[in-house]
Amino acid sequence: MPKEEIYDLLRSMELVLDNGFPLVWRNSVIVKSKEILGIIDKIESAIPPEIQEAHAYGMHKGSADFRSVYEIADNMRAVVNTSVSLFLGMFAVIDLRKILPPVDEMYTRFPVELVEARAFLREKR
């Protein structure tokens, strides 16, 4: 089931962040860049085909107040890519105030978007 897979990956990301080396005074953690980016890649590839197809048909196109699961994943990747890099990019200093909101948003947005995509595709067919 795609929902459980996405949730498992989000929990994996939270575990990586929880187990990172804490920089308490900066509200940040040091984690392996490849590990966190790999999880984000897996989240994107785990997005069900219904959502992909609905976006291809233009679901929510032009809606300024809508953030798709793709945009949320891109936001997570941007946080990692713009973080301070250590030891030739092997590690990243991740600001928890920047990474945790999109993780939480993905938890709530994903099931809603899946239902919306299925309804959208039923109307299109």
Mean pLDDT of 16-38: 92
pLDDT of residue 57: 79
Over residues 51-71, the pLDDT tens digits come to: 888 888 777 666 656 678 888
Residue spans of the domains in the chain: they are: 2-124
pLDDT of residue 2: 66
- Which of 11-15, 30-34, 39-43, 109-113 bottoms out in mean pLDDT, i.e. has the lowest? 109-113
Local confidence band at 19 (pLDDT 50, 70, 90 cut-offs): very high
Give percent of the chain with pLDDT exceeding 90: 46
pLDDT of residue 28: 93
pLDDT of residue 4: 84
Full-model pTM: 0.85
Q: According to the 3-state scheme, what is the secondary structure of the chain?
A: CHHHHHHHHHHHHHHHHHHCEEEHHHCEEEEEHHHHHHHHHHHHHHCCHHHHHHHHCCCCCCCCCCCCHHHHHHHHHHHHHCCEEECCCCEEEEEHHHHHHHHHHHHHHHHHHHHHHHHHHHHHC
